[in-house]
A and B are shown apart, each in its own frame.
Chain A
Amino acid sequence: MASEPHGGLTEYIQHHLTHLNFRVSPNGFWSFHLDSVSVSLALGVIFCLWFWLYARRATAGVPGKGQAFLEIVLEFVDGQVKDVFHGDRRFLGPLALTVFIWVFLMNAMDLLPVDLLPWITEKFGVGHFRAVPTADVNMTFAMSITVLLLVIFYSFKAKGFGGYMHELFTAPFGKWFAPFNFALNLVELVSKPVSLAMRLFGNMYAGELVFMLIAGLFSAGSWLLFGMGIIGYAVWGIFHILIISIQAFIFMVLTIVYISMAHDHH
């Protein structure tokens, strides 16, 4: 509990829920969460370097353990894309792989002890630091809005401007209900990124908070509670391995499904 302020569990959790904020405008409307941005960028660079290093010296012969692992991941993701999307996979395949590994790595930050990164950054004089970028609603919405833009782009690309407009205005009920159809399609379009982002955010935020609540047991004062804290932390951590993989998987699959839906003609 290196970074615990004096004031009990509530204060401890509130301290941990504060982002490292960089304000551009004085009233705080334009601001960056430096912790989310830096951790996600670092993980992205790690992901790229890791895959690039193995891809560079990939052999057609007997693969090493590292290459075999990457091949398993690659074939798994490619299989998922192949199941859903029947077309040119040169863009969607790498996109799905990036989404899957990147979201997984960002979620995996949840498995680090909650106080580890804040404790390290505190040594450098930075008080607030949240290690899990996907537990930041800005991060998940940034990703899901990117997916929305891709969906719109591929709708235009696959159907042309006229085709997409025709679909937007006439899709469920025919051309006599054009405004109604458009409103309905708009709701459908907007609900995709919202559900995508909120699902990932809710899972990671709840997981992080449960970790913090368990971590509160460590400073509760009695050895019994300390032991319960260790057991609880281990149990929730093991369960969380399942959750972070499933959430990364779901984010990937839904990205593929949404983009392949954009290719479908009505």
Chain B
Amino acid sequence: MELVAHIAQVQGFTAIALGLIIGFGALGACIGIGIMGSKFLEAAARQPELVPLLQGRMFLLAGLIDAAFLIGVALAMYFAVANPLLSKLAAG
């Protein structure tokens, strides 16, 4: 019975951590993409002839900004389906 309580505790903390990882990651990535998108639209409005040049770079940066968030999501998903922190409990 004590083991169940321990497992529940680990899983509860893990669930909170997953929320924090995905939530804060999404927050940062969205603010970043938002700032970059607004700047891109401003630049495109000022100098429409530069749009093809800027578009490629914008997508490149969008991928770079998204990457850290998606690494976080991958980590969080890994913890959600196969929690390695529980292995100690299973062994002991």
A residues near B (Cβ < 8 Å) are 10, 13-14, 17, 198-199, 201-203, 205-207, 209-210, 213, 243, 246-247, 249-250, 253
Contact = CB atoms under 8 A, between A and B. Distances in A.
A253 B56 CA distance: 11
Interface in B58-92: 59-60, 62-64, 66-67, 70-75, 77-78, 81-82
17 contacts: A13-B81, A14-B81, A17-B82, A198-B71, A202-B70, A202-B75, A203-B66, A203-B67, A203-B70, A206-B71, A209-B78, A209-B81, A246-B60, A246-B63, A249-B59, A249-B63, A253-B60
Main secondary structure, interface of B, reads: helix
A202 B74 contact: yes
The 10 closest A-B pairs by CB, nearest first: A202-B71, A246-B63, A206-B74, A199-B67, A205-B74, A209-B77, A206-B73, A202-B74, A13-B81, A250-B63
A14 B72 CA distance: 19
A141 to B, nearest CB: 14
Given A203-B66, A249-B59, 8 more contacts: A17-B82, A202-B70, A202-B72, A202-B74, A206-B70, A209-B77, A246-B62, A246-B66
Interface of B: 59-60, 62-64, 66-67, 70-75, 77-78, 81-82
Contacts of B60: 246, 249-250, 253
A14 B77 CA distance: 11
Given A246-B62, A249-B63, A17 B70 contact: no
B79 to A, nearest CB: 11
Nearest to B72: A202
Interface centre among A14, A201, A202, A247 (most CB of B within 10 A): A202
B77 A246 contact: no
A16 B14 CA distance: 22
**Interface core residue of B59, B71, B82 (most chain A CB under 10 Å):** B71
B59 A246 contact: yes
Contacts of B81: 10, 13-14, 17, 209
Contacts of A201: 71, 74
Contacts of B66: 203, 243, 246
A208 B60 CA distance: 21
A199 B71 contact: yes
Contacts of A205: 74, 77-78
Contacts of B71: 198-199, 201-203, 206
Nearest to B71: A202
A111 to B, nearest CB: 17
Nearest to B64: A250
A246 B64 CA distance: 9
Nearest to A195: B67
A246 B63 CA distance: 6
